[in-house]
Structure 1
Amino acid sequence: MVFRTIFLPGEGVRLVADAVGDPHAPPVLFLHGGGQSRRSWRGAARRVAEAGYHGISIDMRGHGDSEWAPDGRYDLDSMAGDLRCVLRHLGRPTVLAGASRGGQVALVAAADLPDHAAMLLLADVIPQVDPAGVAPISRFMQASTDGYPDLQAAADALAGLPGRKRPADPATLARVMRRGDDGRLYWQWDPRMANPAFINPPAERSLMERAAARLRCPVLLVRAEHSEIMTDAGVAAFHRLTPQLQVRLARGVGHMFTSDQNDLFALPLLENLKALHSSLSSTSRP
């Protein structure tokens, strides 16, 4: 199947996405995690297209080829505002699959537009994440704003994250980096996202908890076996807010920050899509 590059309206920004499959089929919209790009869900999008859906993998604001926020806003509600624009543009019930930051965005938008959310898949993210697990990610993001002299240095920086191994071939990082005017290498996202105000502030937890209590669609949490940000207590609190929550375990993986590959989280989604196929098909075709 051939991917098509499409453009979608955000809230004051233009978003770039890859689409695959029949545009009239039930849509499945994939949102990557912080530091990732639309490539992270490419394999999953192809698989859902082969199963009869319209797979769409989007670059969120400030990531990949999408526009950077002109006002520098990367708070959760601003990013969820982009998704609300996209869902209204699609104009029909959509399955939302979000990893990490993309999952937070999907959770809030699904609660705000319940008629547009057919199902919600969350890859290793809950409203109450463990601050101890977030702290190394925050430090990594802030340190990365200075850039790197070469791919070797970028690989060394990644190896400093908990649970991360140094890439066997640093050359593979080239696809997720850009070269600045100063000649140094930077991750392919707006460095203003490294502002601590945008990394797990208490207000965002409250926003997600309120959203979780309002969710009406089926919700599936795929928890990384070696997640650094998720605790049993946090999952239990999520379940109290969202009684329809189901939890699956992705064995042998950790939190996916900066890793542009989320396919290990896709199998539970495909299994749950089968039960929704009939109801989605009946509302998708004009």
Structure 2
Amino acid sequence: MAGQAFACRPHLPYQDLEMSPSKESTHDAPPVTAGPTRFTYKSADGLTLSGEKWEATGCSEAPKVPVLCLPGLSRNTKDFHAIARFLQEQGHEVIALDYRGRGQSEWDPEWHNYALPIEGQDIDAALSFLAIERFAILGTSRGGLHAMAMAERMDAGRIAGIILNDIGPRIEMKGIHRLAASIGKQMKFLDQASCAGALMAGLNTQFPAMSAEDWLRFAGQLGASTHDGFILEYDPALAKTLAMMDDGTPLPDIWPLFGTTTNMPMLILRGQHSDILSDDTCGEMKSRHPSAIVHEVSGEGHAPMLWDATTQERIAAFLAQLNA
């Protein structure tokens, strides 16, 4: 989310970058359902960061725009596995990143570096490493804030289009309070099922239609089973980025950043039960960006899972309008 993330940090030169394939990678031509290749690279300040890449496997007469997927505050590349598999079958190359301190990326010993400007440098380093020049962005929550910041700092035409998944220039404090009350509080569970139960107890009003199997699937996106139990895959120090925020803390004015996107194709996804992106904010976004498309994800809150066929097809249709 936002908070202290807009504090300015000096630009640092990029370090040497490295690639390491995941267990799913292969040197052979990928089959239609090829899994992702995991890659690593170095941040400007020496952290080893990670991401996943899905090669386009679908038949297409012309190249389709690559899609860069950016997750939420405490989330990771697994949030995008379902939509990435769908999009690769439509002919898109898909890249998803783990920010520093999340997923398979190294934790930062200085928690103040869990900030949008520093993470933005990391994103730019990944794009340079992968030699990606023009792309669309699918940004969930914090990832959408990154998308807006990228629109401001990057050359015109480099970003083909933006998909904002349940985020906008006005963030509801009710949702921030909910996140602050949960992030970093319990990092370890007996097993994946125990984690799923805790998620269901805390988020059932956000996702009232999810089944027991869905909650188990969701838990699998957030953590991993280890010899010491089921562990959430992020640095609990992320909680400090939200700790000082309350109703009296003014949030940064993000509307100017949003203004830099109004000449770009945009799809806005909003969860029906979201406590982060309100209907009113969606309406104001639409008034400032009249060509933006708004799609409400029924039965879901913050942030939509991107599992359902309707939302996946809406995303693919939007991307189909963009020239590679």
Q: Structure 2 matches for 1:100-249, cutoff 5 A? A: 100-115=141-156, 116-144=158-186, 147-151=188-192, 153-158=194-199, 159-161=201-203, 162-164=205-207, 168=212, 172=217, 173=219, 176-178=222-224, 183=228, 185-197=230-242, 205-206=252-253, 208-215=254-261, 216-249=263-296
Q: Is the 8 A contact 2:114 2:241 kept in 1?
A: no
Partners of 2:243 and 2:286 in 1: CA distance? 25
Residue among 61, 64, 82 paired with 1:43: 82
Structure 1: runs of 5 or more not aligned: 281-286
User: Which one of 307, 318, 322 corresponds to residue 263 of structure 1?
Assistant: 307
> What is the alpha-carbon distance in structure 2 between the residues aligned to residue 25 and residue 195 of structure 1?
40
- Contact 1:76 1:204 (C-alpha < 8 Å) held by counterparts: no
Matched position secondary structure for 1:210? helix
1:188 maps to amino acid: E
TM-score, structure 1 as length reference? 0.80
What one-letter code is carried by the residue in structure 2 that aligns with 1:267? E
Task: Determine if contact 1:225/1:251 at 8 Å carries over to the other structure.
Answer: yes
Matches for 1:3-82 after TM superposition, within 5 Å: 3-8=36-41, 10-12=43-45, 13-22=47-56, 26-72=65-111, 73-82=113-122
Residue of 297, 314, 320 corresponding to 1:250: 297
Give the alignment's TM-score, normalised by structure 2: 0.72
- Structure having the higher helix fraction is 1
Q: Mark the runs of 5 or more structure 2 residues left unpaired by the alignment.
A: 1-31, 58-62
Query: C-alpha deviations, 1:109-136, integer Å up to 9, x for none?
Result: 2222143211100111112121112211
Counterparts of 1:236 and 1:274 in 2: how far apart (Å)?
Answer: 25
Corresponding pairs, count: 272
Structure 1 position 75, deviation (Å): 2.0
Corresponding residue number in structure 1 for 2:27: none
Instruction: Give the direction of change, closer, same or farther, for the CA distance of 1:149–1:53 in structure 2 (3 Å limit).
Output: closer
Q: Is the 8 A contact 1:87 1:94 kept in 2?
A: no
Q: Kindly report the root-mean-square deviation, in angstroms, between the aligned alpha carbons of the 2 structures.
A: 3.1
Question: 1:156, CA displacement in angstroms?
Answer: 4.0
1:83 corresponds to which of 109, 123, 144: 123
CA contact 1:80–1:106 (8 Å) conserved in 2: no
Aligned equivalents of 2:291, 2:43: Cα separation in 1: 29
